[in-house]
Each structure stands twice: as C-alpha cells, then as structure tokens.
Amino acid sequence: MTNPSGARPGVQERIFLHLRDYVDHSEKVEVPFALSQMGIANSVAIARSNVPRAISGMRDSGHLIERQAHVTGVSRKRKAYFLTDEGTKVADQIWSKVSEQNIKIIHPNGKSEVITLFEAIEKTELPLRHVDMLRYMDDSGTIDLSGLSPELIERDLSKHIEKQLISYLNDLPRTRRFFGREDELNIIVELLDSNSSSILLPGIAGIGKTSLAAQILSKFTHRRNLLYHRCQDWEGSRAFLETCAEWLSAIGSNDLTDYLSSTAVPQPNIAVNLIESGLTDSPSLIVIDDLHKVGDETLYSILKQLTLKIPKLDEVGLVMFSRSFRMVVPESDSSGNIVTLVMPLQGLDASSSKQILTALPDIDNDRFS
C-alpha cells in the first residue's frame, strides 16, 4: 500500500486553491461570503486576523486583487479577494500537484484507505471541496470523515466569528474499532448536549473505557474545543494544569499560562477560576482518562472545584474515566443540584464480545487448551 505523502499544503497554497473556485465572480457586484476575509479564514482554517498577512505576498506578486463588494449575508460592503489571470495559472499548477498527493482517508463506516486527494473528493458523498479535505487533514496526512456531516461542514464554512476550535488529543490512542457501548455513548452525548455538566465513568480494566473516550471526543469534533488528558502515575496536578494552559492559550486565553509561570505551587482555586475564565464563551469538552493512576489530592481539589463551575458555563463538559469507584468529585452542590453524573461501566455484552473475537486474526485452538 502506498503511504500518505505528508503534511497538507501551506496556508498560501490553500488560499490559491480556495479562490480558484471563484474566478468567475471577479466582475460581479455581489459576491459569496467565501471571498471575504472571514470566508477565506474558514476555508483554510486560520484566524481572520491572519488573512491580510497571508495574502500580502500574493497581492505584491500580482496574483491577487482586493476590492470592496457586497458580500452575501453581510449587511455592508466588505473587502473581497480575487485571483488575477496569473494567479489563476499558479492555482492551476498547485492543484495539478496537490490533486495527486496520497492521503489516508477514514470513511464514515470506519474503513480506511490511502488514495489521492482527487480520488478522495470523487469518492466521498459529503459536500467537500479540495480545501475542505485539506482543512480536516491532520499532521500525519490523515483525513477522518467519520465524524463529519453536511451540517457541520456548512457551519465551519459560514462562521462569522473569529474563534477557531482547538483540539489537543496528543495522548489519545488510536482505536481501530468500537464494539458495544452505543447506548452509553448516546446517553453521554445527549447529556453533554443538553447541559454543561460533568460525568464520572468508573469501571474495571479492559472493558473499553479509552475506546469510549475516543468515541465521545469524535462526536464533538468540529463542534467544540477538545482536550484529552491521560493521567500517569508519576504525574500530578501540575501536568494537568500545564496541559490545560497550553490548550487554553491556543484557544486565546493566556491567563493560566502566565499564572503557572509565576508560581511553583499553583493554588487550586486560582487555577480553576482561570480555567473557568478561559472557557467562557468557548464551547469545550475535557476528557480525563486513567484518573485512578494519580493520588494527588491537589488534582482532586481542582476537579472538585471545576465540577462546581461547569454548570455556570455554556456548552462545556468534563468527562472522567477511572478504574476506581472512589467519588473524588461531588455529585451535588451545596443547594442539592446535581453537578456530576456517575455512570459505572459494566463488562461488554455477549454480542459485542463476540464481535471483538471475530475481528481478531485466526488463532489456533491449541492457544486455548
């Protein structure tokens, strides 16, 4: 099998590809939102404030022009951007190269294959252009379509706000298949969708807790900022706070980073207040795995206070997985309102267990004697 050929093209190349689809609008009075600064930012996954710098070289080299125009869906005239004839030639050359780039596609049914970008666009039933495919490409050259829908794609392209969604999933193991737990998964997603809340899922080893964590995160991909933190027995509260700080800085809040750099012993109440501030008006989901590995009471104090703050935020959730059934976070606040839902996980049912066994390579009967 051919391997993926690497990272996605640079920002400027993606802007060339994006504007290439709109060359026939250069003389029109009203132009699509896609030709505005925010439309370009949405299409190539950068902040709107970075667009002028990204296109300055294109304009200076005569590949792009800008003019005021009526933009569809916007009340007043905005700057719109168009490729010149020379710019269109450059864009065509970029597409000739990029279209033959090998990428790994994970289809909605979970199956994956390595094909060219052109073939991927032809195969998918989702409304995806070349720049859309590239927008969802990760650093390994993989495009995961399993969590996408036409509605999510349209929402990403029509955003009129500056904030971009940030995912920090570096510690998350890649799971090839997901068996069972559909009922639990649906319940958790519904709970997180309906209210800002915290969920604790205790369960013994080897019953698919991490796989469930990955599925929960996939359900909120392209919908919320995502953070996955896997606890290690040699780490404590500082590791969690530093991960949070890096994530919040990427979202746009540097307060926790500044605080951690100024103190050797962070105070839980101050840290939690800064996390709360950073998540205000930012739809987010934090998933903590292997919580049982850490016996740090400071971390437990942070999580206790965080569960009390989350109901006051909009579209924010905290999900914790542990082998321990110890209640390290409160189930209710001082007024009796539930702040943490506890969902103990049982072993997989017979049908799901059979699916796992049939998915394994053939094993000699002698292995079971």
Q: Compute the mean pLDDT over every residue in the chain, rounded to the nearest whole number.
A: 86
> Does the pLDDT of residue 200 top 80, yes or no?
yes
pLDDT value for 32: 92
What is the CATH architecture of 167-353?
3-Layer(aba) Sandwich (3.40)
> Does the pLDDT of residue 359 top 50, yes or no?
no
Please name which of 226, 308, 324, 316 lies closest in space to residue 268, comparing C-alpha atoms.
308
For the stretch 74-106, pLDDT in tens is 767 788 999 999 999 999 999 999 999 999 999
Q: What is the mean pLDDT of residues 282-311?
A: 94
pLDDT value for 110: 84
For the stretch 323-347, pLDDT in tens is 988 899 999 999 999 999 999 987 5
Q: pLDDT-based confidence at 320, cuts 50/70/90?
A: very high
Q: CB of 225 within 8 A of CB of 282? A: yes
> Does the pLDDT of residue 318 top 60, yes or no?
yes
Higher pLDDT, 71 or 364: 71
For the stretch 133-160, pLDDT in tens is 998 888 788 899 988 888 888 877 776 5
For the stretch 153-198, pLDDT in tens is 887 777 654 456 788 888 787 655 544 578 889 999 999 999 999 9
Higher pLDDT, 128 or 175: 128
Q: What is the DSSP string of 8-77?
A: PPPHHHHHHHHHHTTGGGTT-SEE-GGGBHHHHHHHHT--GGGHHHHHHHHHHTTSEEEEEEEETT-SS-
Higher pLDDT, 152 or 231: 231
Boundaries of every domain in the chain: 11-158, 167-353
d(CA 306, CA 273): 8
Question: Where does 11-158 sit in CATH, by number?
Answer: 1.10.10.10
pLDDT value for 347: 53
> Does the pLDDT of residue 258 top 90, yes or no?
yes
Least confident interval from 42-46, 267-271, 299-303: 42-46
